[in-house]
Amino acid sequence: MISVSDALENVLALCAPLPTETVPLRAAHGRVLARDALARRDQPPFAASAMDGYALRSADCAPGASFAVVGESAAGHGFDGTVGTGQTVRIFTGAPVPAGADRVVIQEDVTRAGDRITLSAPIGDNTNIRPAGGDFRAGDRLEAPRRLTPRDVVLLAAMNLPEVEVYRRPEVALIATGDELVMPGEEPGPSQIIASNTFGLAAMVEAAGGVARVLPIAPDDEPLLRQSFALAGGADLIVTIGGASVGDHDLVGKVAADLGLARAFYKVAMRPGKPLMAGRMGGSVMLGLPGNPVSSMVTAQVFMLPALAAMQGLPPAPPVPQSAPLLEDVAANGPRTHYMRAIREAGGIRPFASQDSSLVSILSRADALILRPPHDPARRRGEPVDYLAI
């Protein structure tokens, strides 16, 4: 059994960034930028008015001063002339500030009669002008690697970049194993249950920027399990679910080894998730997750998500635990890191009374995993504990 941190190091050592591809801006959200994006222009490209009002010369501004309105500058339609002494141009938000003017007085601070305005209020110090290039300059960059947010997409569009280079999405083949499993909606036999974690894992893959390929359930049968691995061919990551432990019907390790798995490790000092395996199978990384739904979701959180991030070119980003006072006493921990399902409440964090790794109703209610290091002593209500929000 190896520690969680050693296991993670091993998993990351198996994962290299995937090739890159160019995608249109509309497909960029959630992808990881692979090459710095360089602005093609200054923004704003001209000094622009920040308000609706009148563009004029600061030097002319005195209480009660009056100006001749000589033209108009609107967004998309600038004023070609120059604003001279005693002159002003009617201007609107986003419009180019005409030559000669160095200030925009908001329309609320003037009175207008025909083609003249008079300053009716003391004007403040604000010029109400956004300088050219005040947001960014041509050549300014959005640095790679970076997972693109909707806010980044705004910036890329403003930079006049219709497409960007991103890492390819990792393709993840998910193989649920076990004679007891049927798909949701099917009629289970008397000893059967519904395959559940497959769907949570597929959702996790997609939320992490991958493409999930959910394969048919593999029965506990060596030739059929081999066929499932064949269907997983070409995937960047093959994730098996179940059949990883020591029972007579736990065949994943054997079949994967027969098919050439170069195993990096088997068994991790964590709870849930002990019978986890990882390695390389041909061109794919393989993660063999335990079958219990909570075990598979927790191991996916701890190992699969960092693997997917690494394949998308992101540097390792160890999760930063938060801390909160316990709302219940907890017993001493054993030799494995314990990820306790818990719920955050006003004033602290409450671990669920049952931590059995089969309980999906509790998994659904949990919004945090309390982190108990190996051999952590018993802790009392009120003591601070580390947790990961999930």
Number of amino acids touching ligand LQZAQKY5 (CB under 6 A): 27
Which of 274, 338, 341, 350 is in the footprint of ligand MOO by CB under 6 A? 274
Report the alpha-carbon angle 24-28-34, nearest 5: 100
Is residue 295 near ligand MOO by the rule CB under 6 A? yes
Is residue 253 near ligand LQZAQKY5 by the rule CB under 6 A? no
Which of 96, 272, 313, 351 is in the footprint of ligand LQZAQKY5 by CB under 6 A? 272
Nearer to ligand LQZAQKY5, 50 or 194 (CB): 194
Task: Provide the token pair at 380.
Answer: 């009392």
Which of 242, 272, 279, 351 is in the footprint of ligand MOO by CB under 6 A? 272
Question: Residue 198 binds which one of ligand LQZAQKY5, ligand MOO, none, with CB within 5 to 8 A depending on kind?
Answer: ligand LQZAQKY5
Which residue is associated with the tokens 């990961």? 388
Q: Phi-psi region for residue 263, left (φ > 0), alpha (ψ -120 to 50) or beta?
A: beta
Which of 290, 293, 306, 313 is in the footprint of ligand MOO by CB under 6 A? 290
Site for ligand LQZAQKY5 in 131-190 (CB under 6 A): 176, 178, 180-181
Site for ligand MOO in 182-241 (CB under 6 A): none
At residue 359, what is the residue type?
Answer: L
Q: Which residues, in sequence order, are CB contacts of 156 under 8 Å at separation 6+?
A: 25, 28, 37, 142, 148, 164
Quick one: CA dihedral 23, 25, 31, 34, positive or negative? positive
Question: Residue 306 binds which one of ligand LQZAQKY5, ligand MOO, none, with CB within 5 to 8 A depending on kind?
Answer: none
Site for ligand LQZAQKY5 in 181-210 (CB under 6 A): 181, 193, 195-198
Question: Residue 243 binds which one of ligand LQZAQKY5, ligand MOO, none, with CB within 5 to 8 A depending on kind?
Answer: ligand LQZAQKY5
User: In angstroms, what is the minimal distance from the CB of 41 to ligand LQZAQKY5?
Assistant: 52
User: In angstroms, what is the minimal distance from the CB of 255 to ligand LQZAQKY5?
Assistant: 13
Site for ligand MOO in 347-366 (CB under 6 A): 357
User: In angstroms, what is the minimal distance from the CB of 291 to ligand MOO?
Assistant: 9
- 242-281 burial, b at 16+ Cβ within 10 Å, e below that, comes to bbbbeeeebbbbebbeeeebebbbbbbbbbbbbbbbbbbb
Nearer to ligand LQZAQKY5, 147 or 274 (CB): 274
Cα(345)–Cα(351) distance, integer angstroms: 11
Cα(367)–Cα(71) distance, integer angstroms: 60
At residue 381, what is the residue type?
Answer: R
Peptide bond into 44 cis (omega under 30): yes
Q: Which residues, in sequence order, are CB contacts of 160 under 8 Å at separation 6+?
A: 39, 40, 41
Nearer to ligand MOO, 243 or 272 (CB): 272
Residue with CB nearest ligand LQZAQKY5? 291
**What is the three-class DSSP state of 246?**
coil
Q: What is the largest CA-CA distance in the chain?
A: 95
Is residue 313 near ligand LQZAQKY5 by the rule CB under 6 A? no
Which of 117, 241, 298, 369 is in the footprint of ligand LQZAQKY5 by CB under 6 A? 241
Nearer to ligand MOO, 295 or 312 (CB): 295
Question: Residue 308 burial (CB < 10 Å; 0-12/13-18/19+)?
Answer: buried
Bridge-based pairing state of the strands 146-147 and 32-33? antiparallel
Interacting residues toward ligand LQZAQKY5 by CB under 6 A:
176, 178, 180-181, 193, 195-198, 241-247, 250, 272, 274-275, 290-293, 295, 357-358
Interacting residues toward ligand MOO by CB under 6 A:
271-274, 290, 292, 295, 357
